[in-house]
Structure formats: structure tokens, C-alpha cells
Structure 1
Amino acid sequence: MTSFAERRWKSTDGLSLFARDYPGVGGEARLPVICLHGLTRNSSDFETLAPFIASLGRRVIVPDVRGRGLSQWDANHDRYVPQTYAKDVKELLDALGIAKAVFLGTSMGGIIMMMLAARQRGRISAVVLNDVGPKVSPEGIARIQSYAGKPVELNCWADAVAYVRRINKDALPNLGDEDWERLTKRTFERADSGPILKYDAGISTQLNAGRAKFPSFMAWMLYRRLTAKRKTLILRGETSDILSRETAKRMVAEATTARLVEVPGVGHAPLLDEPTSEAALLSFLEEVA
């Protein structure tokens, strides 16, 4: 597995933020790829995909969004919004001297990309949206609200594995015991007091407020700005409760350069190690600079 360098940068409001930096194998003649994770997730979600992309000769940058993973938590929970996250990503690109890249975003990561496109559109060469779009199904939001940021008291690692399985089993019905163990390691860290979630519970406070302040027409406008004249791959979990099939089809209709691939047997969100996901990503990355 390709190793990565640990990068740190300071946000303009003073937080110490973290990213994984995977060098492209055999050089970096092609544009780098920026991978952005979901709401309660972190950079470890790409620990399998990032080395795969790096093996294709592309540098891969995977940040921990503030409040997650190894990035510092923000005492001001009002800053846990996609606009802030997009600014953080812009500052990371500046710090690393990256002028242009391919962007891949899972769930919230895709929303960050739309926000980035509002002011930094020229830095985005091509787009991969993993189970996210301008319209998010309320059923999926309600499901995420049922656990995101809620107190979790676990006595042992087995409890953590059971918790991860419980909140994800409907979306990922085909995972085996080793898969659940791996997903748990991405979700929790071990501590003397018991397993601890790798995110600040405060990130959930903006779930309702953010949606209330962000009208639908603006979301579609940002989507069109993100995808205009750019190769775009949309991945949708077959049983997703976040990205409906209707919304996904409209996304393709409104972006002539977009291609939709449905990942069978999974919901929100594909882990990107499924054969269908890998094949779609490989084909897409072969087509872009």
C-alpha cells in the first residue's frame, strides 16, 4: 500500500488542520486528485482508494475536514458549515501550491465542492460526486440526525463494532466481519476510557440550520457552476436515501458532461471499493488530464 506524508496547515481562523498526501507512483505528470469525505467521516475513508489512484500516477490529497480525524475541533460550532470547509480546502491548495485538480466528494464532500466552485471554479478540472447532489432526500437527513452528534457510551471495542454495524447495516448489507472491523477503525479511536468517535459532536448542529438557509434554486445553480464544461461522474448507491434516482437523473439532464453510474446492493454511501465503483472511477480518471 502506498504510504502518505502527513501535512498540516493553518486556517485563517487559527485551527491546525490535517491532510494525507499520497505521491503519484512513477511521477506526477497528471493532475492531482482531492478527496473530500462525508459529514461524520474522515480521511481514512479513502485509505484504500487513495493508493489505488496514486498507483495511476496521480498525487492524492485527502484532508480531515475541521472537527474530524486529526484536524482540530472548532470551539465555534457556527463555523461547521460547507462554506467554511470550502475556504479551508482553498487554503490547503494554496499551501501545497496546487493550482488545479480533479475533485472527488462523498456526501458532504460533494457539497463542499459546490461551495468551492462558487469562488474557485477555475481550480476544478473534473468532478466525481459520490451519492450526493443539489437535492438531499429528507429521509436520509432524518436517519443521519438520529445518530450524528448523539452521545455514545461504549465499554469495549466490540460495542463500537456493533454500533457501526447498526447504523450502517441497511446501507451496506453485504459487509463481512472484517469489513465491519475496518469501518469501525475508521470511525473510532481506542482510548483507556473506551472507544471515542473521531469527530466533534458539534458538527451536527448545522444539519438543520444549514438546510434552512440554503434554498433549492441556489443549490442547483451551484451544481451547474461546478459541472459546466467539466467531465462529471455521478455515483449513486442503488438504495440510497440521500440521492434519489429522480434527482440523479435530473443532474445528468442539467449537466451534459455528466455520466451516472448506479452501484448495486448499497445505499448511502458507496465505499468506493465496490467493483462497479472502481471500474467507473478507473474509466473516468483515464479520460481526464
Structure 2
Amino acid sequence: MSVTSAEQAAADPGAAMPRLDDLSRADVPFRTGHFWAYAPHDFHRIAYVEWGDPASPHVVVCVHGLSRQGRDFDPLGYRLAKMGYRVICPDLPGRGLSGWLKDPELYGLPQYAADMAALVAHLRIPGKIDWVGTSLGGLTGMVLAAAANTPIRRMVINDIGPFLPWAPIRHIGSRLRDAPRLHHNLASGESRLRIVLGAFGPLTDEQWRHIAKHSFFREPSGGWRPHYDPGIGDAFRPGRVYSVSMWRDWDAIACPVLLLRGALSELLLASTADEMTRRGPPTQRVEIADCGHAPALLDDAQLKIVTDWLGPAA
């Protein structure tokens, strides 16, 4: 299945949501929370945004990509909350409002999976959860879904797979390491994001403003710094980048999967996506036109793909 630009433009007007700037005052406003998670020799804060009825037993956890944070899922959180879900959008350690790890060497899938397992425990979720993961968030979900007694019952994976070629990983790492540590103003930061995140696909000015607003913190001494710890890029130093294979994890997953792929993605190769539908969990694949790595999940058509697949909370 594929989604074209024309289909995106013809999205259901009845599914329209408030402007992104108005979501904090919408009929299902979000709440914020945090807890303390453990890394070797240190506890660190994990922050999250929560949408919907906190008593709802139908829970979706949405986890962002490498240099992103949980507010990327504001439109999806709002939509799913309107459908009866409780939606949790955490910031992984070293991003957003979460704490930084003292040892940058710990930024990796084992720590992220442990922190997200601690999140599920912290929330006292009585049953199974659904998982939406973009890029790194999808890899984290794969690790957890492959584990025995996993709490994950369904999973949406956005433009990532169990094989990652080294060349685009190196490119992502270089872009991360070369990012300016400070911008004179927010407009400068947004201009850079429009370039480095151009593969997100065609976005409106409002959507770019939303991304930028949550991508930088204002420094008391002046300027705007990226929301993440530069140490998350240490794993991408020269000589440390190589192709990644997680087929063993993929083959161990049993829950249904919706696989989204940016049609221009260089990280999730078409051949990898093909293989993902032939082996491992039962997988439905959808190609998103005019996007690379990774579809932003901000426009109506992309949101509808996810909400239609999950269906109303029941």
C-alpha cells in the first residue's frame, strides 16, 4: 500500500484538529510527568507528556527518533486521545526534558529499552500496550516486543528495520556531531532543521514552527541550544559506525506490526521492508510518498493511517 501527495491533500476534513499552537488548550489537553530511572552509578529523570483519560486501560506509548523528543507526537496524541486511548510520549534520556546520562557510552538500545520498561512500570498499566516508534523509537520497541512476556500487543514502526546500512548511519552521525551548539535566535534553528530534517517530507510553516519550538531551549545568557545532549552522537564517531543487524529480534516478535516507510528512505531500504513482510511478525506495509527518513506523522493523511490501523479504543 502507498499514500500519494494527492491522497494526503484529500484527507478527511472531519478529522481536522486544532492548530498545533492551540493543542495545549484543546478539549483533550495534555499533562506532563516524570520519574527517575537508573543507569549504572546514576539515576536520571525521564519526562513524558500524557494525553487522554489517565484511567483508560487502552494505552499507546509513542517514542521518538535519535535527535527528537516526545512533542513530535502531539497531533497523534491528540487524535488517539479523542479515540479513547491514554497516550504516553516520553523523552528518551539525553533529550527534551529528560536528564542527561553522566556516561555518554550508555546512550544505546539497552539503556533505552530499560528506561521504557521502567516507564511502563511507573504508569501502572494493568494490561497490554500499543507501541508507536519512529526510527530509534521503533528499534527500542523491537527490542521490547521481542522479549519474553512483553507488554506490547501491537506495534507501529515508522521507517526503521532490523537491518541498517552503515552509509546513512554515518551521515546521520555526522549531521548530529556537526550541529551548531547554539543559535542566535529560534528562526536560525528552524532554518537548519528545515535543511537537516528535509526528509520528513513536505511540511507547512506551522508544522516547522512546532518542530522548532520543541527542538531548542533558550539559554539565560542568550541564544538557543538544541534540546539534546551532544553526547548522544558519541556512538557515531569515526571508526564506530557499521551496519546493524537485528533480524534475531525481528524474528522473535509475535505481535502484529504496521510498517511505515518513507518512499525515499535510505535507512529503511525497500529490500529490507520486503524481507520484513516475508518473515517475523505479521506485518502490513505502507509506503509514504515524498518522504525519506522519516515521515513526520504530522499531517492528516499520515495520522489517519496510524489511527485507522489501531482503531477506536475497545
Asked whether the two chains share a fold, i.e. TM above 0.5, the reply is yes
Structure-1 residue corresponding to 2:191: 162
Match of 1:7 among 33, 48, 53: 33
Q: Percent identity?
A: 30
CA contact (8 A) 1:126 1:288 kept: no
SS at match of 2:208: helix
50-59 or 173-182, larger mean C-alpha shift:
173-182
Structure-2 residue corresponding to 1:87: 114
1:244 lines up with 2:269 in the alignment: yes
Following the alignment from structure 2 to structure 1, what is the Cα–Cα distance between the partners of residues 265 and 235?
22
Q: How far off its partner does 1:175 sit?
A: 2.3
1:179-194 equivalences under 5 Å are: 179-192=207-220, 193-194=222-223
Unmatched segments (≥5 aa) in structure 2: 1-25
CA contact (8 A) 1:263 1:276 kept: no
Q: Which has the higher contact order (CA 8 A, sep 6+)?
A: 2
Which amino acid in 1 is paired with 2:45?
S
Pick closer, same or farther for the CA change 1:176–1:6 going to 2, 3 Å: closer
Structure-2 residue corresponding to 1:175: 203
1:1-289 equivalences under 5 Å are: 1=26, 2-13=28-39, 14-24=43-53, 28-29=56-57, 31-98=58-125, 99-119=127-147, 121-152=149-180, 153-169=182-198, 171-192=199-220, 193-207=222-236, 212=242, 216=245, 219-226=246-253, 228=254, 230-255=255-280, 257-286=282-311
SS at match of 2:105: helix
Structure-1 residue corresponding to 2:9: none
CA contact (8 A) 1:231 1:257 kept: yes
Following the alignment from structure 2 to structure 1, what is the Cα–Cα distance between the partners of residues 304 and 209?
25
Following the alignment from structure 1 to structure 2, what is the Cα–Cα distance between the partners of residues 35 and 200?
21
CA contact (8 A) 1:150 1:201 kept: no
CA contact (8 A) 1:126 1:231 kept: yes
Q: How far off its partner does 1:70 sit?
A: 0.5
The count of corresponding residues between Structure 1 and Structure 2 is 281
Following the alignment from structure 1 to structure 2, what is the Cα–Cα distance between the partners of residues 274 and 210?
36
SS at match of 1:84: helix
- Please report the TM-score for the alignment, with normalisation by the length of structure 2: 0.83
CA contact (8 A) 2:63 2:137 kept: yes
CA contact (8 A) 1:149 1:200 kept: no
Moved over 4 A (4+): 208-212
Which amino acid in 2 is paired with 1:23?
G
CA contact (8 A) 1:24 1:55 kept: no
Unmatched segments (≥5 aa) in structure 1: none
